[in-house]
Amino acid sequence: MTNRRKCFLSVLISFFCIYFSSCANEANTPGDKNNQIDNPIIQVLDAETERQLKQDYWQYIFDDAQRSVFTVDEVWIDYYLGTYNGYVVFVVSSIGICGFSSKHNYNISIGGHDFIFPLNSDIYAWKSGDFYRIATSTSILEYNWRDFLTSNNIRSMYEQYMAYNIIKDDFYMGAFEELDEKIKQQIKYDYWRDFFADWWLTTGIAFSPDNVRIDYYLGTFNGYVIIAVIENTRWAGRIIINGNEFIFPTDIVMYAWKQNEDTESRSFYRILNEDDFFSLPLTHDDADSMYKRYKTYNFSNDKRINPNTFDGLDIETAWHIRFSYNYDRNIIINNPIDYYLGTYNNYAIYVIITPEGVNGGFSIEGFNFSFSGTAPTYAWKKGENFENNQLYRVGNITDEFERIGWDNILTSNDAKNMYKRYLRFFNKGIK
């Protein structure tokens, strides 16, 4: 072999050694080994077992009255996490309940692994018709997972969970450029100045710009920064702009903000509908770009934001409901809609938990609606303008609000559907 060939061969061998050494080092980069799952594959529960599980769960979760309005087909198993020692492990959630935090997620820690779900969830083990709640995001456990599962079982469960790819790295961050920190602080200050600077005068509660939270940043177009802010309510919210459907896990209000030379002039423009958006110097292309950014928040695993099963309120309707209540009561604070029970005959029915009144529930068509604490119930109907919106009290309360009877709003079938919506607040595992 000539010296030239030997030299070339040495260089080639050195190159491959360096390359494979680099790959090996890259593969062994220190990190959270518990979260490193190679090529996860989702296991599927066989159809017959799933059918029997749903049938048993339907019997387990509902009483006779509730089974009269819900069918087995309406049982919803969110995630199947595997079968171990004959125990089928699965996750169920409540669509009607979501978080008030900016991330809206629920963390369940079990066996040293964190299972994060976008909805209030429980993990059950099921065997021979019996159910054992082994992990929950909200209350005390009924059973210890160690009575049913080994540490290796939990590891396998975690691999199955990771295969669903429920929470991605960009779940809340988006894949585009982030909002400049200086601009973010200016927006927070202006939002505080416009909406909360005098709040302490009426509530006695101190509120500073640092308390302002920008929940979603949707891009900057023609100098207008588009943000979405959760305004103290728990319902999924929807707005349609340029044919694009934006559905957020909680009811939000969208704003456009633009820096003005006069720092004391109004900076915020509320966007409640498509007309509000296009009243600003924004284009259809801007709306489409904003939708692309919205999609990067990866809400796809949250059942509430599926357009086919959307069960919240349009952003515009929710805003009008809250402020119609305030307008009639001469209250400045933005009251949350605690329970939205649906819209019937153009009346939106909702419950607000307040210190006023003594109404803890009502009964209609044989269905009992019960709420903890005081829970006055209202019917709202949109008027020709803000001042003409109609607000009525329904239920067994007589006060300064004009009262309207259920028979003016609901049919028997409406009452049944409203009861189904009510049950979804308190029962997990139903569509």
Separation of alpha carbons 53 and 57, rounded Å:
6
Which pLDDT score is estimated for 298? 66
The number of beta carbons lying within 10 Å of the beta carbon of residue 132 is 18
Which pLDDT score is estimated for 113? 85
Spell out where 151-243 has E strands.
216-221, 224-230, 237-241
Which pLDDT score is estimated for 283? 96
Q: What is the average per-residue pLDDT within 406-429?
A: 84
Which pLDDT score is estimated for 42? 73
| Domain residue limits, the chain | 47-164, 181-309, 338-424
Which residue type is seen at 113? H
Residue-wise pLDDT tens digits, 266-318:
588 999 999 999 999 999 999 999 998 888 776 665 666 666 667 778 888 88
3-state DSSP call for residue 211?
helix
Q: What is the average per-residue pLDDT within 190-194?
A: 84
Q: What is the average per-residue pLDDT within 63-83?
A: 87
Does the pTM surpass 0.85? The reply is no
CB 122 within 8 A of CB 136: yes
Local confidence band at 178 (pLDDT 50, 70, 90 cut-offs): confident
Separation of alpha carbons 78 and 135, rounded Å:
15
Separation of alpha carbons 353 and 335, rounded Å:
9
What is the residue whose two structure tokens read 């396998």?
156
Q: What is the average per-residue pLDDT within 113-120?
A: 76
Residue-wise pLDDT tens digits, 372-411:
767 778 888 887 776 778 888 886 554 555 677 888 888 9
* 222 or 104, higher pLDDT: 222
Percent above pLDDT 90 for the chain = 19
When the pLDDT of each residue in the chain is averaged and rounded to a whole number, the result is 75
Separation of alpha carbons 374 and 284, rounded Å:
46
Residue-wise pLDDT tens digits, 195-217:
776 665 565 566 788 878 888 89
Residue-wise pLDDT tens digits, 81-106:
999 999 999 988 766 544 333 345 66
For residue 223, give the DSSP letter.
T
- When mean pLDDT is compared across 85-99, 119-133, 177-191, 226-240, the lowest value belongs to 85-99
pLDDT surpasses 70 at 64: yes
Best mean pLDDT range from 125-134, 317-326, 345-354: 125-134
- In this structure, are strands 313-314 and 237-241 parallel, antiparallel, or unpaired? parallel
pLDDT surpasses 90 at 255: yes
DSSP string covering 387-411? GG-EEEEESS--SSSPB--GGGT--
